[in-house]
Amino acid sequence: MVTTDARLIALDWGTSALRAWLLDADGAVLDERATKQGVMQVTDGDFAGTYDTLVSDWTAAHGPLPALACGMIGSRGGWAEAAYVDTPADPATLAEQLTEITTDHGPLSIVPGVMQRGGDGRLADVMRGEETQVLGALASRPELAEDSWLVLPGTHAKWVAVRDGRLSSFTTYMTGELYAVLSEHSILGRPAAEAGDSQDDEAFTLGITTARDTGDAGGVSALFSARSRMLAGELAAGATLSYLSGLLIGEELRSVFATGQTRPALCLIGDEALCVRYRAALACFDLADVTTLADAARLGLWQIACAAGLLDKD
């Protein structure tokens, strides 16, 4: 029996994971699921087959449904490339540039990424997926819309400046990827690999404050101390990766705050454990009043779907 409660399939389809929600007319979740079928894990690029497996029971129960996806599924290596829109960006801007795919389960639209053009002291930068989380965060926390920084920690951490309800500008920090490379493929990771890595909060904090206090030299100048402090007996071998993590996150924050500009309201978005680490790091920079959102992609997809009129097309 086909029912009509569902109005939208929302997907956050990233590099390593795929999350999907079945939403009703108010954006409430009727069902949800998650798989490891990120863009890089889809065999032979069979995105249509992966999507079919994911949603076929939903559309069997509710009929063909409009769907909206964000993330790397819209990259050159994804299902269909969705062109970037320039900053500043808001739900209406993104809604105007959706890329639509025809599927057996109804139309699937892909949210474009956002590009920041170089100039005026800024480097060119891009994002895919984070823009949707930002818009979801603003829908959840309207007080952030006027002037705020939204921080999305991760492999490629994003610091997003929001002005007047729009994604104004942003900077990417490769903190997570640098940690992975240094811990797995450099001399800095060997002591913990041999002794057994142990989470050490004191070592993590020491790494943060060390990077913070490097001043103009920058935290890169202190990277080798992850080894030299261990050899000098100041760090246990198993704590060196906690220290290295602190150094890298601390350097990210040091470089953000080095300009001395006014710090607006700040919100962390993403994995809870990683946000906890960033909150601890921010406290070392005298920033304790920081809010956190565990996830905002679903809310952002709903905002864009409404702006695009997708719910009116079925």
CATH number at residue 92: 3.30.420.300
- 223-232 pLDDT, tens per residue? 999 999 999 9
pLDDT > 90? residue 295: no
Residue 2: its pLDDT value, please? 61
Query: Which segments of 154-293 are extended strands (E)?
Result: 157-163, 166-173, 265-269, 290-293
The pTM of the full predicted model, rounded to 2 decimals, is: 0.92
pLDDT > 90? residue 314: no
Whether residue 79 is contained in a domain is answered as yes
Report, as an integer, the average pLDDT of 89-108. 96
Whether residue 266 is contained in a domain is answered as no
Percent of the chain at pLDDT exceeding 70 = 98
pLDDT > 90? residue 119: no
CB 188 within 8 A of CB 226: yes
Sheet holding 157-163, edge to edge: 166-173, 157-163, 147-152, 265-269, 290-293
pLDDT > 90? residue 4: no
Whether residue 154 is contained in a domain is answered as no
- What's the whole-number average pLDDT of the chain? 94
Whether residue 42 is contained in a domain is answered as yes
pLDDT > 70? residue 72: yes
Percent of the chain at pLDDT exceeding 90 = 88
Whether residue 116 is contained in a domain is answered as yes
Buried b (16+ CB within 10 A) or exposed e, 181-218: ebbeeeebbebbeeeebeebeebbbbbbebbbebeeee
Confidence of residue 169 (pLDDT cuts 50, 70, 90): very high
Whether residue 80 is contained in a domain is answered as yes
Whether residue 85 is contained in a domain is answered as yes
Report, as an integer, the average pLDDT of 83-99. 97
CB 309 within 8 A of CB 91: no
Whether residue 209 is contained in a domain is answered as no
- 179-192 pLDDT, tens per residue? 999 999 999 999 99
- 36-62 pLDDT, tens per residue? 999 999 999 999 999 999 999 999 999
Q: Cα separation of 61 and 279, whole Å?
A: 43
Domain of 52 in residue numbering reads as: 6-126+298-312
- 241-287 pLDDT, tens per residue? 999 999 999 999 999 998 777 789 999 999 899 999 999 999 999 99
pLDDT > 70? residue 3: no
Count structural domains, the chain: 1
Q: Cα separation of 308 and 96, whole Å?
A: 7
